[in-house]
């Protein structure tokens, strides 16, 4: 499996406006897109997704804080890597599927941390995001 580097992190937040003030104004991230319940920020070569988790989300998913970490993988290597994870009986939580402008697969590490292999860039994602 040929992982190329860090892609993005998704963070569940309780108040999107408050969190945007912190991440943009305090940490200097660039706001690329703001939706009703999410925002995409660019930070160097990586990106950060903030998603507001409130009463509209089922209580089992209503956790504030870290959601998952994604690693970049070239689309040419994606399917081989996904097959490898499946063959190694790694717990797959979503995918493999085409999503956000590229291919993605979410899986658990041995401690249950959600990881993702993602082939799209933030620019790719913004082209298909509504």
Catalytic residues: 116
Tell me whether residue 113 is exposed, middle or buried, using C-beta atoms within 10 angstroms of its C-beta: 0 to 12, 13 to 18, 19 or more: exposed
- Sequence-distant (≥ 6) Cβ neighbours of residue 43 within 8 angstroms: 27, 29, 30
- Sequence-distant (≥ 6) Cβ neighbours of residue 52 within 8 angstroms: 12, 13, 14, 15, 16, 19, 37, 38
Kindly state the tokens that stand for 95.
Answer: 């995918």
């Amino acid at each position: 499996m040929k992982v190329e580097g860090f892609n993005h992190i998704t963070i569940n937040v309780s108040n999107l406006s408050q969190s945007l003030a912190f991440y943009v104004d305090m940490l200097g991230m660039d706001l690329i897109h703001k939706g009703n319940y999410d925002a995409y920020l660019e930070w160097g070569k990586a990106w950060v997704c903030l998603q507001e988790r409130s009463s509209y989300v089922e209580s089992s998913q209503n956790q504030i804080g870290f959601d998952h970490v994604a690693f970049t993988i070239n689309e040419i290597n994606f399917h081989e890597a996904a097959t490898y994870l499946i063959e190694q009986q790694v717990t797959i939580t979503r995918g493999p599927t085409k999503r956000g402008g590229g291919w993605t697969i979410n899986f658990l590490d041995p401690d249950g941390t959600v990881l993702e292999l993602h082939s799209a860039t933030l620019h790719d994602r913004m082209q298909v995001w509504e």
